[in-house]
Amino acid sequence: MAEILHRVTLAAQDDFEGWREAARALVMHGVPPESVVWQVAGEGGDLFSAVAAMPLPPVGGDGGFNVPRGFIDIARTAIAHRDPERFALLHALLGRIRDWPGALADRADPLVRRVETMARQVRRDMHKMHAFLRFREIAEPDGAVRFVAWFEPDHHIARMNAGFFVRRFATMRWSILTPEVTLHWDGASLCEGPAAQRADAPAGDPVEQVWRTYYASIFNPARLKIGAMLKEMPKKYWKNMPETALVPELIAGAQAREAGMIRTAAKPQQGHDRKAALAALAEEARGCTRCDLHRHATQTVFGEGPANARLMIVGEQPGDQEDLAGRPFVGPAGQLFDRAMADAGLDRGSVYVTNAVKHFKFVPRGKRRLHQSPNGGEIKACRWWYEQERLVLRPRLTLAMGATAARQMFGKIVTISAARGRAHRLEDGGEGWVTVHPSFLLRVQDEADRREEYARFVEDLVQVKERLTALD
Ligand code: SF4
């Protein structure tokens, strides 16, 4: 066993800044993870007090090396995982990144995958807390009302989640009690108290009216998926959820409400409204769990482009590089797409580009992640986002690139060769065009064939451009 040389005591289980400062110092001084004991102040005693420990070496300035933003984000989240090894694992990963800044892109690396899994589990736990925490009402000594909730997170997420509840319930006085920390909001400032027990929270029913009103206001009939709702909602939370009583009523009104939503969305919107609506959609899609693809991908890759774009271009799904960058069409196929757009005289900056499916589907092979086409269920699940994008953008013309995009656009399977080169009337009144996906061009082996296919692809883009001009 390696001799313990350094002991680091963090202020709390989620003390990211403390970890960051210490880990930088350790990496800078070449201290390997196996020579460090990480502790949290006040927890479990000083197990290693008998072990000789050297003071942590100081590091000045910025710590001597640049850390990619992606690592900071993932480490800030993973630090809240309950796995006691997380501090050492992140230390090891930071060391690797110092030697090779692209280390985080090596998705086949077991260390990268483990840290990513931890971050994903933490995000999921945060999402559960947003969804399943329930307040009870109590009277304060001054006669005011305070809402108190008990919640047992799986990970150390309570502090990380405080901002969400401050924003959501800014005007209420509330307290959230957890076995690790208590959070108290008085309408103006947030403060923290010691750990609590379930018995500290008021007994009785949750505040039915508050939650029923809130739930009814956020209930989105177009997303109604009862099976998924029940699957998503762990049984331990059911009894705390008065809004479950609302479900039959909401379902009954869902159709009418959906029609209302569509009418509202169909009204002409101002540019800034559309921009805000797209931003809100993208934000909501970050937490999407409508199909299993979110489980292994790094992040949702939503569409991007001007909110008043007249042309919407749809691809299949994010690839390996898009998954890492969080932006569509930035990998090899995206670069070819950019070249073809320029050759066709189309400005990518004026076009809204998106994918039929917003998460990367792949199978790991050694150090690589091999692309897999999404299946019918995944395409259908992601149709919700595609339709929402269309409702906001109301594009004059839509170009589907490849079979998956065409299936999303038409709502059924179509053959590219049969649908290519002509306009199609879409259900929402827009006009649809079809071409191949640029990744198809990359797969053509023979160079002459590839040149020919590329020229056809550019021709399709030119046709779309001319049609767009004709529709002016
Ligand atoms: S692929 Fe689409 S439907 Fe599936 S989880 Fe991702 S965003 Fe949601």
Which residue, by CA, sits nearest to atom 2 of ligand 1?
Answer: 382
The CA 397 to ligand 1 mean position distance, Å, reads 24
CA–centroid distance for 360 within its chain = 12
361 pocket-lining for ligand 1 (C-beta < 6 Å): no
What 3-state class would DSSP assign to 261? helix
Whether residue 131 has pLDDT greater than 80 = no
Which residue, by CA, sits nearest to atom 6 of ligand 1?
Answer: 359
What is the reported pLDDT for 124?
86
The CA 124 to ligand 1 mean position distance, Å, reads 14
The helix (run of H) or strand (run of E) holding residue 135 is strand 135-139
Q: Which of 123, 289, 293, 362 to mutate to test the pocket of ligand 1 (most atoms within 8 A of CB)?
A: 293
How many CA within 13 A on the CB side of residue 171?
Answer: 1
Averaged over 81-90, what is the pLDDT? 96
422-440 pLDDT, tens per residue? 999 998 889 999 999 999 9
Per residue, the 3-state secondary structure of 87-104, as one string, reads: HHHHHHHHHHHHHCCCHH
The CA 393 to ligand 1 mean position distance, Å, reads 20
Beta bridge partners of 191: 184
The CA 280 to ligand 1 mean position distance, Å, reads 16
The CA 107 to ligand 1 mean position distance, Å, reads 20
What is the reported pLDDT for 204?
60
One-letter amino acid of 236 = K
359 pocket-lining for ligand 1 (C-beta < 6 Å): yes
pLDDT bin (cut points 50, 70, 90) of residue 344 is very high
Atom of ligand 1 nearest to the CA of 285: 7
What is the reported pLDDT for 272?
61
The CA 324 to ligand 1 mean position distance, Å, reads 16
355-370 pLDDT, tens per residue? 999 999 999 888 789 9
What is the reported pLDDT for 441?
96
What is the reported pLDDT for 338?
97
13-56 pLDDT, tens per residue? 999 999 999 999 999 888 999 999 999 988 755 444 444 455 55
Residue 402 backbone zone (phi > 0: left; psi -120 to 50: alpha; other: beta): left
Beta bridge partners of 369: 364
Which residue, by CA, sits nearest to atom 3 of ligand 1?
Answer: 382
Helix 86-99 crosses helix 110-132 at what angle (to 10 degrees)? 130
214-245 pLDDT, tens per residue? 444 444 444 444 444 444 445 555 455 554 55
Q: Considering the chain, what is the average pLDDT of its residues?
A: 83
The CA 290 to ligand 1 mean position distance, Å, reads 6
What is the reported pLDDT for 169?
80
382 pocket-lining for ligand 1 (C-beta < 6 Å): yes
Q: Which of 120, 300, 302, 386 to mutate to test the pocket of ligand 1 (most atoms within 8 A of CB)?
A: 300
Whether residue 75 has pLDDT greater than 50 = yes
Atom of ligand 1 nearest to the CA of 297: 6
Are the C-beta atoms of 130 and 162 separated by less than 8 Å? Answer: no
What is the reported pLDDT for 219?
42
Q: Which of 127, 298, 317, 357 to mutate to test the pocket of ligand 1 (most atoms within 8 A of CB)?
A: 357
Looking at the chain, the whole-number percentage of residues with pLDDT higher than 90 is: 53
Q: 31: closest CA among 73, 88, 103?
A: 88
Beta bridge partners of 357: none
The one-character DSSP state at 141 is T
248-298 pLDDT, tens per residue? 454 444 444 444 444 444 454 555 678 888 888 888 888 888 899 998 888
The CA 172 to ligand 1 mean position distance, Å, reads 34
What's the burial of 150, exposed, middle or buried (CB within 10 Å: 0-12/13-18/19+)? buried
Domain boundaries, the chain: 6-127, 133-200, 206-285, 296-471
One-letter amino acid of 228 = A
Averaged over 131-159, what is the pLDDT? 87
Which residue, by CA, sits nearest to atom 7 of ligand 1?
Answer: 358
The CA 223 to ligand 1 mean position distance, Å, reads 13
Helix 158-168 crosses helix 110-132 at what angle (to 10 degrees)? 40
Whether residue 373 has pLDDT greater than 90 = yes
296 pocket-lining for ligand 1 (C-beta < 6 Å): no
What is the reported pLDDT for 4?
58
Averaged over 110-124, what is the pLDDT? 92
Averaged over 384-409, what is the pLDDT? 94
What is the reported pLDDT for 154?
94
Atom of ligand 1 nearest to the CA of 381: 3
Distance CA 366, CA 378 (A): 25
357 pocket-lining for ligand 1 (C-beta < 6 Å): yes
Averaged over 449-466, what is the pLDDT? 96
315-335 pLDDT, tens per residue? 999 999 999 999 999 999 999
State pTM to two decimals.
0.51
What 3-state class would DSSP assign to 185? strand
Are the C-beta atoms of 409 and 314 separated by less than 8 Å? Answer: yes
The CA 248 to ligand 1 mean position distance, Å, reads 26
* Least confident interval from 20-29, 205-214, 399-408: 205-214
The CA 289 to ligand 1 mean position distance, Å, reads 6
What is the reported pLDDT for 269?
53
The CA 80 to ligand 1 mean position distance, Å, reads 25
Structurally, at CATH architecture level, domain 296-471 sits in: 3-Layer(aba) Sandwich (3.40)
Whether residue 146 has pLDDT greater than 90 = no
Which residue, by CA, sits nearest to atom 4 of ligand 1?
Answer: 291
